[in-house]
Amino acid sequence: MPAGQVNRMAAMVPTYPPPESETEEAWVWGQIKAEAYRDAESEPALASFLYATVLSHPSLARSLAFHLANKLCSSTLLSTLLYDLFLQSFSSSPTLISAVVADLLAARHRDPACANFSHCLLNYKGFLAIQAHRVSHLLWGQNRRPLALALQSRIADVFAVDIHPAARVGKGVLLDHATGVVVGETAVIGNNVSILHHVTLGGTGKAVGDRHPKIGDGVLIGAGATILGNIRIGEGAKIGAGSVVLIDVPPRSTAVGSPARLIGGKDKQYTHDDPPGESMDHTSFIQEWSDYII
């Protein structure tokens, strides 16, 4: 790629928010391409990789389909098959790409280590695992369940994130670090939720039917938390790191401990105004928690 072209594109990195004339998808894709041009210039060792995964593609859908296919392929599950599968899924379901954009924005705004959209697209396994799960969920709904389960298995092998294809996941979701996240078959995750590593949304035993947690919009779940059973974590609630939650958690309240208790107790629950799933505030409850246990 000519150096002059790289320089011109590097200078075109846009700023947020997108102009009114652009959709969020178009703006984010433009941002990703400009960042990739800039990175290719500053690190020539990555130029071929960035061209193959980003700069040679006309759209976010094609770039993501290509990248996921090459990440998840195996000797028996070919990258060409996966590319066609991902691209067809993204093309046939516009809501999938809308969710991709929302997840990219979530990572960029909530994770201080995420300096660029392109870095999230290419390197953040939590983001990639969610996008691949969205396709496996689509396949599950189309009754293509063997393929959905095969894709789930590859996602777990490659990204260390195990989400059952039937689980429902909203948009604007951040899996921060992501390693060890497990989400059961009947779990539901709302919009604008942030989940740290080693979180389990599981059942309580061998029961069948609706048996997994329901996570409301704007919830924050700290690292290592375990939430078990068909319970509800209310909108804007916060689950402290390492907690084991076996009870419903009311909206905008905080649960910590093993087994988890509500900060302030059932009668005088400590509540917060800002959705912690967006603010990423893990520690505002500490003083109230200390007062409660003394």
- pTM, two decimals, is 0.88
Give me the phi and psi of 121, to 5 degrees please: -60, -40
> How far, rounded to the nearest angstrom, does the alpha carbon of residue 5 sit from its chain's CA centroid?
33
Sites in the chain below the pLDDT cut of 70? 1-18, 21, 264-273, 284-294
Reported as half-sphere exposure (CB side, CA atoms, 13 A), residue 67 has a value of: 27
Instruction: Give the C-alpha separation, 17 to 163, whole Å.
Output: 32
Q: What is the pLDDT of residues 73-121, one digit of tens each?
A: 999 999 999 999 999 999 999 999 999 999 999 999 999 999 999 999 9
Task: Return the structure tokens found at 47.
Answer: 């130029």
Write down the pLDDT at residue 15: 54
**Burial per residue of 57-77, b for 16 or more beta-carbon CB atoms within 10 angstroms, e otherwise:** beebbbbbbbbbbebbbeeeb
Q: Which residue has the tokens 């280590």?
A: 113
Nearest to 46 by CA among 103, 109, 93, 116: 116
Burial class of 148 by CB neighbour count within 10 A (0 to 12, 13 to 18, 19+): buried
